[in-house]
Structure 1
Amino acid sequence: MKLGVFMVLFGDRKLEDALDYVASKGLKAVEIGTGGNPGKAHCNPAELLANDAKLKEFKHAVESRGLMISALSCHGNPLHPQKHLAQADHEDFVNTVKLAEKLGVEVVNTFSGCPGDHENAKYPNWPVAPWPNDFQEILAWQWENKVIPYWTEQAKFAADHHVKIGLELHGGFSVHTPATLLRLREAAGEAIGANLDPSHMWWQGIDPVQAIHILGRAGAIHHFHAKDTVIDPINVNRYGLTDMQPYTNMLDRAWQFRSVGYGHDVKTWADIISALRLVGYDYAVSIEHEDGLMSIEEGFSKAVSNLQQVLIEESLGDMWWV
């Protein structure tokens, strides 16, 4: 496995300066934002696709520092019911896939998106209860008319460009659990897989190790984010896991994101890394920092330190003792 980082952390730095800093920490991989919510601070796909010289400069900047690009990421909502918003995210996705092919990057990360509840809706609708039955009808309409048709087409597009799609299992979107990911993968094809982030499993009440087993046995983990979550034992009883308070209300929220090791101990993260190796995942472990109690540099550095203790980097080899 290669320890990496989602470079949106350092969007206020020039690409070369950010890469120097990451390399100085001993990392081997970078995940780079190419649109949508991550933005394009370090990489504008349309510009690089139109200029071979800039494309070569970009690739050299990464590789000359001993780094590899684990994924290009354009997390957005291409199923947004407001067509102009959906189109913008769709175009970012298309350009990102094309750029990934040119750069030889295996994975494009994004969200599945979430449609509205009918053709003329204005906002996404995320059903999370089977009753009243209206919610079941909404869910069926979304998957049959929006989710499956769109991603079936995009999975073929990505496969044609030799790229895999890593959908982040994130609340608020149609694909947010191992089951919903596997449902879409079965319908749309094996180009669809997970960009698995344990932090989103914990706040949904899912054990990340079990999620790794469920998805890994199906060969459906394409990329992995390293981010932690802490659940407040008192606040969760007041607000529940679907707490709608802003992330800035850290003292009162039921849960919050933390740097690796500050929500769950290093042994838990060792179990996660071991589960990844067990199911055959030996790709990037990409640090994502969204800890409201730590600066970017401190939260990132502590995540690096904690993960370096448990990361399995060397090839497996033979079991000499059997």
Structure 2
Amino acid sequence: MDRVLCVWVPDWPVRVAGPAPDVPLAVMAGGLVLACSPAARAAGVRRGMRLRPARARCPELRAVERDVEEEIRGFEPLVRTLEEAVMPRLEVVRPGLLAAPARGPARYWGGEPQLVERVTAVLRELGHPARAGAGDTVFAAALAARSGALVPPGESAAFLAPYPVGVLGRPRLTELLHRLGVTTLGAFAALPADRVAARFGAEGVAAHRTARGLEARPVSSRTGTADHSVSHVFEPATSLLEPVVFAAKAAADRLHQRLTAAGVVCARLEAEVELGDGRRLARVFRHEGRLSAAAVAERVRGVLRAWETDGTLAGGASAGAPTGPGGTA
């Protein structure tokens, strides 16, 4: 059974927004509170609230819209530092949360506890308090990271059982399950798989597997065998970022068309840029749903800005031959 490590930097959207710890701030997305500062939480603001009830609890609450591109730009240096100092080939689940196969790195560092200590120590040195956890699936490891837990092999289902079904991140399914009196992952996992498929369809089946501690698409340090990549080559090469981002968005559209034709779903997406001096830079994004072309462009722009800011592109950007994102099913 594969083991997965997840690394979590709490309140990353708030950290990117940059308020002082005593400033009550909420980062909004889709009209709901995505994240909030410690001062806001102390006043009763919670994730998932709408702005009006949040301000009813905290009248001095400052609200800002989420900036995914800036979150990615700020997170990329942390990812690269961990890849250089601890373990290669990290996957960005979202800005502030990383996933990676744990077995090899844990063996190298002397065990999972030592790997967790190394990861968190490196991020602490960068000024970012972080937590890490391990489990048999990305979902279990991500929840384990919240408390720094190491879920023993084969015990992910038992670890997940007490959690409310809302942690699945599927509001419609959560509402239906609540109507049926199914409120925990353990109760959901106990339902027969055939009945779940008949009642809730493909979304329910995927969520049911998650609740049972199973991973439909395990984290991998290698891309899949099927080639679903798309690319764009600039002739002549460009030193401007926006044409690259525009090309990435168009490439993402072609990628989604290709995946649809193949009848597969994108579990992870790799954006790669080849520079004129022969260097290749890449970042892998993990996503359990469908990343829109706009979301792909947002992520590509974020990592490119990070590479430009820290000088990674220097010496090759002016002669770069960028390639578009590739996805693996």
Whether TM-score is above 0.5 comes out as: no
Larger radius of gyration: 2
Q: TM-score, normalised by structure 2?
A: 0.27
TM (norm. structure 1) is 0.27
